[in-house]
């Protein structure tokens, strides 16, 4: 018992004093996710000053500025995806192998995790943005999961020769839907996003 307590204290100390690069991506693990969520709960949300500090995210042919307090986590189980997270907020970049859109992904997700007695709002029209040279309209869902009012919004990005890409914002709803962390992330990304990675050319005809 004492050893377990000691290990827990060491893990907390190591996490709080970590000097890993701000843009480092940690491999996904249930243990890591659990401890990160616990640390976030203990520390509380980042301050406005902390959220104003920006670092670059560059993965999957997508680059943008993000608030420094967000952690970056990579999951390679099914296909490469990256999560930028802090507290209840998460931004995901998906690069699936097959033909799947943000709307497809969110529809499947809602069917899987939404509470049986939850009134699902969606799909709704989300925010309109101009990203990577294209006008994109988000796909929005609101529903309860494990007693928490969740909000999800997905945006398709220009596809590459390897396949599609899309972003998903995920948060616990506040009075204005999004938390301060989510809003700061959206503002930073909206002002800086750029896409590359072999964009599929548009054909003039079907020939």
Would 134 be classed as within a structural domain? yes
pLDDT in tens, 22-34: 444 555 454 555 5
In whole angstroms, how far apart are CA 127 and each of 68, 81, 146, 193?
Answer: 24, 22, 26, 16
**Between the CA of residue 198 and those of 133, 161, 203, what are the distances in Å?**
14, 6, 15
Q: Is 8 within the bounds of a domain?
A: no
Query: Does the residue 186 lie in any domain?
Result: yes
Q: Are strands 71-75 and 81-86 parallel, antiparallel or unpaired?
A: antiparallel
Is residue 150 assigned to a domain?
yes
Chain-centre distance of CA 108, in angstroms?
17
The two beta strands, 148-160 and 71-75, are: unpaired
In a domain? residue 156? yes
Per-residue pLDDT 10s for the chain (207 aa) are: 333 333 333 334 334 433 344 444 555 454 555 556 666 666 677 999 999 999 999 999 999 999 999 999 999 888 999 999 999 999 999 999 888 999 999 999 999 988 777 789 999 999 999 999 999 999 999 999 888 899 999 999 999 888 899 999 999 987 778 999 999 999 999 999 999 865 544 444 344
Does residue 92 lie in a domain region?
yes
SS3 80: coil
User: For the chain, what is the domain count?
Assistant: 1
Looking at residue 78, which CATH number applies to its domain?
A: 3.40.1000
Angle (nearest 5°) at CA 103 between 123 and 155: 100
**How many other CB atoms are there within 10 angstroms of residue 124's CB atom?**
11
Structural domain harbouring 188: 23-195
What's the pLDDT at 114?
85
Quick check: 141 and 124 in contact, CB under 8 A? yes
User: Could you please report the per-residue DSSP string of 167-198?
Assistant: EEEEEE-BTTBS-HHHHHHHHHHHTT-EE-S-
Residue that is written with structure tokens 């943000």 in the block: 102
- Residue 203 included in any domain: no
Q: Could you tell me if residue 6 is inside a domain?
A: no
């Amino acid at each position: 018992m004492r050893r377990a307590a000691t290990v827990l204290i060491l893990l907390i100390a190591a996490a709080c004093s970590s000097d890993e690069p701000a843009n480092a991506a940690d491999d996904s693990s249930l243990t890591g996710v659990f401890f990160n969520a616990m640390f976030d709960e203990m520390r509380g949300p980042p301050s406005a000053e902390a959220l104003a500090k920006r670092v670059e995210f560059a993965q999957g042919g997508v680059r943008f500025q993000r608030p420094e307090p967000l952690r970056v986590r990579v999951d390679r189980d099914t296909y490469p995806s990256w999560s930028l997270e802090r507290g209840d907020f998460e931004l995901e970049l998906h690069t699936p192998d097959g033909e799947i859109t943000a709307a497809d992904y969110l529809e499947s997700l809602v069917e899987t995790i939404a509470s049986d007695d939850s009134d699902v709002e969606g799909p709704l029209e989300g925010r309109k943005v101009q990203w990577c040279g294209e006008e994109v309209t988000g796909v929005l869902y609101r529903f309860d999961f494990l007693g928490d009012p969740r909000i999800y919004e997905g945006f398709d990005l220009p596809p590459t020769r390897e396949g599609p890409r899309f972003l998903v914002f995920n948060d616990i709803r506040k009075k204005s839907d999004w938390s301060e962390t989510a809003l700061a992330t959206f503002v930073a990304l909206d002002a800086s996003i750029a896409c590359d990675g072999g964009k599929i050319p548009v054909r003039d005809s079907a020939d």
